[in-house]
Amino acid sequence: MEKVAIFGATGAVGRAVAAALERKGVPFRAVGRSRSKLENAFGALRYAEILEADLTDLRSAAAGARGADTLIYTVGVPLTAFHLHPKLMAVTLEAAALVQVQRVLVVSSNWSYGAPQSRLVAETHPRAPRTTKGRFRKQQEDLALEAQRDGKLQAMVVRLPDFFGPFADNSLANPVIRAALRGRTANWLGPLDARHEFLYVPDAGPVRVALAGRPDCYGEAWNLGGAGEITGRQFIELAYRVAERAPKFRTGGKWLLRIAGLVQPVMRELVEMYYLQEKPVILDESKLSLKLGGVHKTIYSDGIRQTLEWMRGAGRR
């Protein structure tokens, strides 16, 4: 890779990708909606170029991609705007083809699989989402892989579980860590003893960069799992132990989301995804590990400790 464009650069995953590129000395363009956020995040980095762009507009998206040989797509949208995922993907792919970007890596989520039909979910697992948000994710992925099949460019999809860490405050796990830091009561949705997995978000950057630079990885989807299986109860207790606090938590079910949704639309949007709390998707990443010769994962206690440091002020610039 000689020049990379990161679309959605100021999100948690985009920042992790940028940090990995900076460490490797690869020039990159950080593309986002807010120039002030871009400058705050990347203004001091040696290899970063900053560009404010509207990714709903073809001309603006093309300006963001122009001159790059590789585009890493990490765009996130609010839960209330998930319908934008396939629309933004379509504009991005058209813009990339227009300015002759060779490769596009799309960061997606395990939501496109739907309810798990096996204990571990590999890339061969059916993608049969029954939720609207899962279907929008699937449509996004399909657009990218169809562009590869049509010969417009090379594309790959990388699916993530829920994650935690710096700038990942929209995740399930970060609010638990923040509650532990403040000595307050953590809220947890769903059964406490269902097994989950969480990815420490800085671990995502090096993997994205490694995959993006591998021509033999395009035209396929790849799973990147978390640091191991852990129940909600175990994660909560570990977060409070690392924060040196006595654990305090309460749980709620789908009914609580419906009630909260009366005043908070974002809570209403979580109702259809509640199945992931009862029977979470655990990704099988053996294909990725075999291809890359192993994947580094930060253990939960270290990831939580580093997230606490960030929440206390370290890393906020």
Domains of the chain: 4-166+197-229+281-297 (3.40.50.720)
CA distance 272 to 264: 15
Residue 200 contacts residue 298 (beta carbons within 8 Å): yes
Question: Considering the entire predicted model, what is its pTM?
Answer: 0.94
Q: What is the pLDDT of residue 1?
A: 86
CA distance to 19, 154, 208, per residue, from 201 (Å): 11, 25, 11
CA–CA distance, 50 with 37 (Å, rounded to integer)? 10
Reference 92, options 55, 136, 59, 63; nearest CA is 55
Produce one character per residue of 150-168: b if its CB has 16 or more CB atoms within 10 Å, e if not.
eebbbbbbbbbbbbbbbbb
- 138 token code pair: 């699937």
| Ramachandran assignment for 100, one of left (phi > 0), alpha (psi -120 to 50 degrees), beta (any other) | left
Name the strand (E) or helix (H) holding 73.
strand 70-73
User: What is the full per-residue pLDDT of the chain (317 aa) written as tens digits?
Assistant: 899 999 999 999 999 999 999 999 999 999 999 999 999 999 999 999 999 999 999 999 999 999 999 999 999 999 889 999 999 999 999 999 999 999 999 999 999 999 999 999 999 999 999 999 999 999 999 999 999 999 999 999 999 999 999 999 988 899 999 999 999 999 998 999 999 999 999 999 999 999 999 999 999 999 999 999 999 999 999 999 999 999 999 998 777 777 766 666 667 778 889 999 999 999 999 999 999 998 999 999 999 999 999 999 954 44
CB 141 within 8 A of CB 110: no
What the block records as the tokens of 199 is 């990815």
CB atoms within 10 A of CB 189: 19
pLDDT of residue 317: 41
